[in-house]
Amino acid sequence: MATRRSNLALVGLPGVGKSSLGRRLATTLNVPLLDLDRSIIASTGVPKDSVDEIFKREGEEGFRIRERSAVAALDEVAPPAGNVAAELGIGRIISLGGGTLVDPRNRWTLSQRARILWLDAPDAVIAGRLRTARVVRPLMSKGNPEASLRTLRTERSRFYAIGTRLESKKSPGTLSQPAIDLLRATPRTTGRMLLSAALPSGHWELGVGIAAESLVRALKVRNASRVVLVSEPNAERAIGGSIAAALKRAKINVIPLTLESGESAKQLTVIDEAARGLAAAGVERGDLLVAVGGGALSDTAGLLAALYLRGIDWVAVPTTLAAQLDASLGGKTGVDLPEGKNLVGAFHQPLAVIADLDALRTLPTREILAATGEAVKIALLGEDRLFTLLEEVAPRLVAGDPELHADGTYAEIVERAGWWKCNVVAADEREAGLRMSLNLGHTLGHALEQAANYKGILHGEAVGYGLRAALTIGVELGVTPAPRAARALALLDALGLGAAPRRESPAALVEATTHDKKVAGGKIRWVLPTAKSFVIRDDVPASLVLRAATQMLAGNTRGGGTR
Ligand SMILES: NC(=O)c1ccc[n+]([C@@H]2O[C@H](COP(=O)([O-])OP(=O)(O)OC[C@H]3O[C@@H](n4cnc5c(N)ncnc54)[C@H](O)[C@@H]3O)[C@@H](O)[C@H]2O)c1
C-alpha cells in the first residue's frame, strides 16, 4: 500500500470537540468523514449495537481486537482535485476512538496512512464543555471531570503528541480554518513518529526515520550552535551519515569523537582521553554532547557528559535494540573496572532520547536476540503483553525475519519494555527501592560477563543466563511458582538465551557476585520472580547460589529450544 498519508486523524481528550471539528473540516474540505467507532459497531452486524454493548458482550479485549482490524483496514483515499484538500493531500477525515492510539500497532498503522492532528484545550475548558454537553460522558459520571482529564492527559499525551497540536480555547466548530492553516504550515515529515513522551528523565521519542529531524529539532530548542558528536564505527555506518548531513544543513557545528565499538569503550582511560580532547577543542558548558550508538557507547559518552566541566547536557540516539529498549533510558551512565562491570558511573539524565527504529535494520540477529534478554526480564517483572508478544514472535526473531521491522513488532517491543523502565525510573531514579527490580537476572549475569572478561558473550546473553539462575533460586525458595518458571524457561529456550553450556567456574562466579552493586551491608540483594511480579531477598544461602550457578552454566539441559 502506498504511504501517502491521505487520511487526517483527529485525536484528543474526550469532550475536546473532535467530532465537531471533524464535521466542519470534512465539509470545508469536501472529503468524507469516517467515525471509527461507528465502523466498528457496523462490523458486528448486530442491529442497534453500541460501543457499550460490545464492551458488555465481548469485553474490552473483544472491542480492541475489532478496533485493531478496523484500523488495519483503513486505506488511502485520493483527495478531491483542485481544492484545499488536494493542496494538503487529505482525502478523508477520521475521528478516532478515545483509546485507539493506546495500542502500539494502531499507532504503527496510522503513522503510515494518516497525518495526526491533536486537538487540545485547557482541562478547565474541556471540563466546562463536558458539564454543559447534552450527552452524559463517562468522565462526567466520575464526579470530578478536571481530575479525570488530568489523569487521562498524563496517560495519553505521549500518544497524542505524535501529531501536530492545535490548542485553542475557542469552540471547536470555529477551528476549521486554524486547523487548515496549521496543517499548511507544518512540514510533512518523511519520518513517522510513534511515541513522544515528555518525561522528567528526558524527552523520549520513538519512530521510524526520525533521528536526523528530531535531533535537529531538540538542538534548536536549546539554541545549540555546536555539539560533540560521539559515535563508533558501526553506529556511524548505520545512521551517522544522515545525522551529520542534517546537522550540517542546520548549520550546527560538529566536533566529532569516534570511540571503539562495543564494551572496550567502557573504560576510564577512554573517558580520560576523550575529556582531554574536549578540553583541547575548547568545548564549553553550553555545548551539547550527542551520543549515537549502542548501550556501551551511550554508557561511556553519558559518563563523559556527566563529568566534563562537572556536567554538560547530552542527547542519546540509541542505535541497538538493547540501547533503545533499555540502556539509553533512565540516565545511568558508567564504565567497567577489572573488579566489576559498571562500577564507576553517574546518574546523568539525557535531555532527550531519540530512538529511530530504522537503525536496527543493520543490527546482526545475535545482537537482536541478546537484547531480548532485557525484554524477557521486563516481561517477567510483570509486563504481560510483552511476555505474550515475545512468545509469539520468538521463532521469527531467531530466524531474523525482516518482516519484524515492517509490521511494527520491534516498535512494540521497544515501547513496552522502555515504557516499563521509564515508569520504574520515574518512581525511583536513584535505585533506593523499585529500580532495583531492573537488576533481575543481572547478579549472576554480570558475574558471568566479568568471568568471561567481557569477551565472547553479549550483555543480554549474560542476562539470559542470569534469569535462569534467578528462576532456579526463586523456585527453590518457594517464591517463584513452578509454572511461571517453566513458562519463562520455555521463552528463554525459544530465544536461544542461556541455552549453550559454558566453561566458567561456578565458584568464581559466586565470588564475583560479592562485588556486585546490589550488595548492601555485605548481603547480596537478589531480585526473584514471583507469580506476577518480583521480590527482593537478601537471605539466599551461598550453597543455593552455587547450585544455581552450576545449573545455569550447564545451559538448557532440558532439551528443546533453538540452540
Ligand atoms: N545504562 C543502562 O541503564 C544500561 C542498561 C542495559 C545495558 N547497559 C549496557 O549496554 C551495553 C550493551 O548494549 P548494546 O548491546 O547496545 O552494546 P554495544 O553498544 O556494544 O553494541 C553492540 C554492537 O552493535 C554494534 N552496533 C551499534 N549500532 C549498530 C547498528 N545500528 N547496526 C549494526 N551494528 C551496530 C556496536 O558496534 C557493537 O558492536 C552493555 O555495556 C551494558 O552494560 C546499560
The domain boundary, picked from 164, 188, 212, lies at 188
Distance from residue 332's CA to the centre of ligand 1 (Å): 14
For every residue of 218-278, DSSP letters joined together read: HHHHTT--EEEEEE-HHHIIIIIHHHHHHHHHTT-EEEEEEPPSGGGG-SHHHHHHHHHHH
What pLDDT is recorded for position 134?
A: 66
CA pair distance 145, 139, nearest whole angstrom: 6
Residues 400 and 495 in one domain: yes
With a pLDDT cut of 70, the percent of the chain lying above it is 96
Q: Which of 191, 179, 184, 194 is nearest to 215 (CA)?
A: 191
Question: What single-letter DSSP state applies at residue 193?
Answer: E
In a domain, 236, yes or no: yes
Residue 322 within any structural domain of the chain: yes
Q: Do 430 and 539 belong together in one domain?
A: yes
How does pLDDT run across 126-183, given as a tens digit for each residue? 998 888 776 656 555 667 888 889 999 999 999 999 999 999 999 998 999 999 999 9
Does residue 348 share a domain with residue 245? yes
Question: 358 with 370, same domain?
Answer: no
Q: How far is CA 364 from CA 77, 237, 333, 358, 403, in A?
A: 38, 13, 24, 14, 15
Cβ burial, residue 68 (10 Å; 0-12/13-18/19+): middle
Supply the range of the domain harboring residue 350.
Answer: 202-362
Residue 441 contacts residue 509 (beta carbons within 8 Å): no
Q: Nearest residue CA, atom 38 of ligand 1?
A: 262
Testing ligand 1's pocket by substitution, the residue of 363, 367, 443 carrying the most ligand atoms inside 8 A of its CB is 367
Residues 388 and 245 grouped into a single domain: no
Residue 198 CB contacts under 8 Å (≥ 6 apart), including other chains: 157, 158, 161
Residues 117 and 24 grouped into a single domain:
yes
Residues 352 and 392 in one domain: no
| Distance of CA 14 from the midpoint of ligand 1 (Å) | 41
Stretch 480-488: mean pLDDT: 98
- Domain check: are 54 and 182 in the same one? yes
pLDDT of residue 453: 87
Asked if 499 contacts 492 with a C-beta cutoff of 8 angstroms, the reply is yes
In a domain, 562, yes or no: no
Q: What pLDDT is attached to residue 561? A: 46
Among 122-136, 206-220, 225-239, whose mean pLDDT is lowest? 122-136
pLDDT tens profile 13-58: 988 999 899 999 999 999 999 999 989 999 899 888 888 899 899 9
Q: Residue 271 pLDDT more than 60? A: yes
What is the number of domains present in the chain?
A: 3
- 175 CA distance to ligand 1 middle (Å): 47
Which residues line the pocket of ligand 1, CB cutoff 6 A? 232, 234-235, 238, 261-263, 266, 293-297, 299, 319-320, 322-323, 326-327, 330, 332, 342, 359, 362-363, 367, 459
Tell me what pLDDT residue 559 has.
62
pLDDT higher than 70, residue 503: yes
* Ligand 1: residue whose CA is nearest its atom 20: 262
| Cα 320 to averaged position of ligand 1 atoms, centre (Å) | 6
In a domain, 1, yes or no: no
Q: Is the pLDDT higher at 341 or at 8?
A: 8
Q: First-to-last CA distance in the chain?
A: 37
Burial of residue 440 (number of CB atoms within 10 Å: 0-12, 13-18, 19+): buried
| 215 and 352 fall within a common domain | yes
Which atom of ligand 1 is nearest to 266's Cα?
41
CATH of the domain at 231: 3.40.50.1970
Residue 558 — pLDDT band, cuts 50, 70, 90? low
CA 351 – ligand 1 centroid, Å: 20
Give the Cβ contact number of residue 385 at 10 Å.
12
Which of 299, 428, 430 should be mutated for ligand 1, with most atoms under 8 A from CB? 299
* CATH number of the domain that residue 514 is part of: 1.20.1090.10
Q: Say if residue 222 is in the same domain as residue 317.
A: yes
Are 308 and 416 in a shared domain? no
> What's the gap in Å between 304 CA and the centre of ligand 1?
17
Work out the pLDDT band at 202, boundaries 50, 70, 90: confident
Looking at ligand 1, which atom is closest to the CA of residue 345?
Answer: 1
- Its pTM stands at 0.95
- Interval between CA 295 and ligand 1 midpoint (Å): 4
How many whole angstroms from 459 Cα to the centroid of ligand 1?
8
Given 157, 188, 219, the domain boundary residue is 188
Q: Is residue 256 part of a domain?
A: yes
Question: What's the CATH number where 52 sits?
Answer: 3.40.50.300
Examine the fold and report which residue of 188, 212, 243 is the final residue of a domain before the chain moves on.
188
563 assigned to some structural domain: no
321 alpha carbon to ligand 1 midpoint, in Å? 8
Instruction: Give pLDDT, residue 188.
Output: 83
Q: How confident is the model at residue 1 (pLDDT cuts 50, 70, 90)?
A: very low
pLDDT band at 519 (very low <50, low <70, confident <90, very high): low
Pick the residue whose CA is nearest to atom 7 on ligand 1.
327
Assign 80 a pLDDT band (cuts: 50, 70, 90): very high
For residue 263, which atom of ligand 1 is closest to its CA? 20
Closest CA to 539 of 473, 483, 491: 473
**Does residue 381 lie within any of the structural domains?**
yes
Task: Report the range of poorest mean pLDDT among 79-93, 112-126, 138-152.
Answer: 138-152
Model confidence pLDDT, tens digit, residues 324-369: 999 999 999 999 988 878 899 999 999 999 999 999 999 999 999 9
CB 74 within 8 A of CB 114: yes
Q: Give dist(CA 545, CA 510) in Å, integer.
A: 7
Q: pLDDT for 290-301, tens place per residue?
A: 999 999 999 999
Residue 196 lies in a domain: no
Most informative mutation of 243, 320, 341 for ligand 1 (most atoms within 8 A of CB): 320
- 255-261: average pLDDT: 96
The per-residue pLDDT for 140 is 58
CA distances from 146 to 20, 98, 137, 155 (A): 21, 17, 13, 14
Beta strand 7-11 pairing with 114-120: parallel
- For residues 322 and 328, the answer to whether their CB atoms sit within 8 Å is no
Q: Whose CA is nearest to atom 10 of ligand 1?
A: 295
The better pLDDT of the pair 249, 136 is held by 249
Residue nearest to atom 4 of ligand 1 (CA): 327
Same domain, 98 and 166: yes
Residue in 349, 448, 459 to alter for ligand 1 test, most ligand atoms within 8 A of Cβ: 459
Q: What pLDDT band is residue 219 in, cutting at 50, 70 and 90? A: very high
Query: If you measure from the C-alpha of residue 181 to the centroid of ligand 1, how many angstroms do you get, rounded to a whole number?
Result: 43
